[in-house]
Structure 1
């Protein structure tokens, strides 16, 4: 499915639906801006739950609307980031995630799960890698120029 193209097909089997949901999950879990927000608890102690809720919100968008395009998904992603994590994402990464989700939907409607499988394998590889601990030794409070005077 071409970038920005409207998704019109329906997922007709439980397998297609399940794989689409997994694909949305993997696309959102792979989004660096959201990962940083969750790791730093910018959405509070329930940041990981908010990320999972975001996945459901995108899947629900497809259930509520007959046609969904990249801009619809991007708008929802950005709104959730702002409302739930108090983060304004302005690097166009949300659009990339949205385009990926549109591609996942298009492939799943055709019974092609290669992109979902690839994203899932990437997730498993990342999850099995030991992560370096992050030690915060000091929190810096930024002072505005008005406060310095």
Structure 2
């Protein structure tokens, strides 16, 4: 597996060698994770710990997913398995629950790309990388207009959850702190919430609600 560092897809791309599908899968995973708004938000806000720790966790995340996809025997059977891994890592390492269906989209994109690569078609991967490079030239992708649950009351409430579907993100929940030394196990996402926040759901998670776009 190619080592993916804070340069993300750029580093993964540099590891690609002709005919090496493993390195292509590394790049595929990196491109999709670095383009996932939910994960980008977590990195921007250092929800994985410090800024450096958050970036390190994203690097590990990409490598772990790539390993699962290239392992023998396969560790993931379908898109659903991959989606579960993405969701659980977000809970375990970044202390947020993503329920806006974006994890399913990321999983489907990775799985579709994987199928093409295994069939010898790398054109989609090349196009995905070109689009990522163009975004970097423009300064990268920033996720704005979203607040965590505990900050919501302090913001002007000029929005309504029931208004303008598609103009807001509901889907991120605060969790109790967790520690990470090395690569943590992808298990046990059942730790209880330690404090009450606005809009707490039945499982004790607080939603992070996005403001309306102007």
- The CA RMSD measured in Å over matched residues stands at 2.6
Give the secondary structure class of the aligned counterpart of 2:29.
Answer: helix
Give the secondary structure class of the aligned counterpart of 2:23.
Answer: helix
Report the equivalent of 2:64: 57
Flag structure 1 segments of 5+ consecutive residues without an equivalent.
Answer: 1-12
* Structure 2 Cα separation of the partners of residues 29 and 102 of structure 1: 16
Quote the offset at 1:123 in angstroms.
Answer: 1.3
The 5-angstrom pairing of residues 111-126 of structure 1 reads: 111-126=120-135
Q: Structure 1 residues 102, 132: closer, same or farther in 2, change over 3 A?
A: closer
User: Which protein is richer in strand relative to its size?
Assistant: 2
1:62-112 alpha-carbon deviations (Å, 9 max, x no partner): 215435211111100000000100010001100110011111111111111
Select 2:33's aligned residue among 28, 33, 39.
28
- Return the TM-score normalized by structure 2: 0.54
Q: Structure 1 residues 64, 88: closer, same or farther in 2, change over 3 A?
A: farther
Report the equivalent of 1:19: 24
Report the equivalent of 1:86: 95
Flag structure 2 segments of 5+ consecutive residues without an equivalent.
Answer: 1-17, 144-149, 155-196, 199-214
How many residue pairs match? The answer is 129
> Stretches of 4+ moved more than 2 A in 1?
64-68, 130-134, 139-145
* Structure 1 Cα separation of the partners of residues 121 and 105 of structure 2: 20
Q: Structure 1 residues 15, 123: closer, same or farther in 2, change over 3 A?
A: same
Give the secondary structure class of the aligned counterpart of 1:51.
Answer: helix
Select 1:127's aligned residue among 119, 136, 144.
136
Match status 1:48 vs 2:58: no
- Return the TM-score normalized by structure 1: 0.76
* Structure 2 Cα separation of the partners of residues 15 and 90 of structure 1: 35
Contact 2:90 2:96 in 1 (8 A): yes
User: Which protein is richer in helix relative to its size?
Assistant: 1
Match status 1:69 vs 2:110: no
Give the secondary structure class of the aligned counterpart of 1:126.
Answer: helix
Report the equivalent of 1:4: none
Greater Cα shift, 65-74 or 26-35: 65-74
Q: Structure 1 residues 33, 14: closer, same or farther in 2, change over 3 A?
A: same
